[in-house]
Copies of this chain bind each other. A is one copy, B any other.
Amino acid sequence: MKITKYTIQRLSKYQRIAKECCDNGTERISSKYISEKLGLSASQVRQDLNYFGTFGQQGYGYNVCALYDNLSNILGNNIRKNIIIIGAGNLGRAIAKYKYLSRYGFKIISIFDNKPDMIGVNIENIIVDDIQNLENFMKNNQVDICVLTASTKTISDIVNIVKNNGCKAFWNFVETPFKVPEGCIVENIHLMDSLQTLSFNNSNS
């Protein structure tokens, strides 16, 4: 029973609905309710959740707070994940300031840049560090996730340094493809691809 990547992508959405309902005092919800909120089929919701256990009850539905707790555990929200950001540009700064990171256990521990006028700048109580210090930092800290926001010629070198020092997960905003070392996990957010997709669909509908 292999869990597909699409199922995993939806877990966070189920969690959000469970939280919303739990917060507003709802006791139970049906797969139909969840599916309508998200524009999915009820069947899909049930099948997705069943990969991880039997959280529902026939004739009753899902207890929302229990479902939320279960999904939080599955997603590891209670475990702290240390993050570093490569690139202190607009995007890097926006991510560093993103207010929902802590709710899910994410913690920015450093930001790196190569521009002299960025190094030393304070962002959310983190002093932007020189990219030259990356390797040294990696050797002295546990880093779980590396966020790539800066499109530099040395992106492959940076990825290799990070990988070779124990972090294999990359949240990548850089559009230019780079060589992904064996064993790394990359989750891409390509803003321009997304916007171009929207624009195409808008012009051809």
Segment with Cβ contacts to B, from A24-32, A57-65, A88-96, A112-120: A88-96
A194 in contact with B169 (CB, 8 Å): no
Besides the contacts A12-B196, A75-B200, what 6 more A-B pairs have beta carbons closer than 8 Å?
A: A79-B203, A90-B93, A90-B97, A168-B202, A169-B198, A187-B201
For residue A130, CB closer than 8 A to chain B, the reply is no
> In the complex, which of the residues B38, B169, B198 contacts A145, with contact meaning CB atoms closer than 8 Å?
B198
- CB contacts (< 8 Å) of A76 on chain B: these are 199-200, 203
A81 in contact with B199 (CB, 8 Å): yes
For residue A191, CB closer than 8 A to chain B, the reply is yes
For residue A37, CB closer than 8 A to chain B, the reply is yes
- CB contacts (< 8 Å) of A205 on chain B: these are 185
CB nearest to A3 among chain B residues: B204
Cα separation A144 to B198 with both chains bound (whole Å): 11
Residues of A in contact with B (beta carbons under 8 Å apart): 5, 8-9, 11-13, 15-17, 20, 37-39, 74-76, 79, 81, 90-91, 93-95, 97-98, 100-101, 104, 106, 144-145, 168-171, 175-177, 180, 185, 187, 189-203, 205
Given contacts A169-B201, A201-B169, contact A104 B8 (CB under 8 A): no
Number of copies: 2
Cα separation A197 to B14 with both chains bound (whole Å): 13
B94 in contact with A195 (CB, 8 Å): no
7 tightest A-B contacts by CB? A187-B198, A94-B94, A169-B202, A90-B94, A12-B193, A12-B196, A90-B97
> In the complex, which of the residues B38, B93, B95, B201 contacts A177, with contact meaning CB atoms closer than 8 Å?
B38
> In the complex, which of the residues B9, B38, B90, B100 contacts A197, with contact meaning CB atoms closer than 8 Å?
B9
A12 in contact with B90 (CB, 8 Å): no
- CB contacts (< 8 Å) of A9 on chain B: these are 193, 197
- CB contacts (< 8 Å) of A170 on chain B: these are 198
Q: Which of A93, A170, A177 gathers the greatest number of chain B CB atoms within 10 Å?
A: A177
B176 in contact with A187 (CB, 8 Å): no
